[in-house]
Amino acid sequence: MKKVRIAILCSGGGTNFQAIYDAQEAGRIPHGEIVLLLSDHAEAFALERAKRAGLPTAVVDRKEVPDRALREQKMRSVLREYGAELIVLAGFLTILSPAFVSAYEGRILNIHPALLPSFGGEGFYGSHVHEAVLKAGVKVTGATVHYVTAECDGGPIVAQKAVEVRADDTPESLQKRVMREAEWVIFPQAVEEVCRKLAGGQI
């Protein structure tokens, strides 16, 4: 069976990378295979996670290559080198240019820690999302896996899962619960769903 070659892009700790890798190792992503972890931050712990898993890693550091066009050119070169067919943004904090996105149209997935279209768009990332959710007083939040388009957090939705907001929640407690109950559950499932479609020529 053909396996779709997956490159995962991370900027930080790599917990979603770990969830996807663990799902792959457990046989829950039969149509995909992680071939690379690429980071834009040389100190990202995700790189250590990938090395422990025996996976190839690459760094195109934002500090060393501050020009976005040049940085994306280097990233695309690395992705071509590894034959990446699906790009998965797992806590990748750089917004990709329309040119980069169009080069991989229908082949970039992102996870967002809220139920899009609520609490999405520029500036809504990491703990900022959970702070906004608590400030708004909503009773339900969650996570969304979506295709990446030129519009920030505006691409077609692949999967969503709701999580209850508790009265005593802090941004930290809510973030942990959204990761555990939603992100780590639906992200591997969505990756397999898209890999299956790519492998079958449906995308």
| Per-residue confidence band for 125, with pLDDT thresholds at 50, 70 and 90 | confident
Report the CATH superfamily, name and number, of domain 4-199: Formyl transferase, N-terminal domain (3.40.50.170)
Contact present, 57 and 51 (Cβ < 8 Å): yes
- Look over the chain and give the mean of its residue pLDDT values, rounded to a whole number: 96
DSSP secondary-structure letter at 181?
Answer: I
31/2 Cα distance (integer angstroms) = 7
pLDDT value of residue 139: 97
7/191 Cα distance (integer angstroms) = 11
pLDDT value of residue 169: 97
More confident residue, 193 or 126: 193
Nearest to 197 by CA among 86, 100, 89, 88: 86
Mean pLDDT, residues 174-195 taken together: 97
| Per-residue confidence band for 93, with pLDDT thresholds at 50, 70 and 90 | confident
148/98 Cα distance (integer angstroms) = 10
95/148 Cα distance (integer angstroms) = 10
Question: What are the domain boundaries of the chain?
Answer: 4-199
Residues recognised as catalytic: 112
In this prediction the pTM is 0.94
pLDDT value of residue 203: 65
- CA 183 to centroid of chain Cα atoms: 10
| Percent helix, strand and coil across the chain, each to the nearest 5 | 40, 20, 40
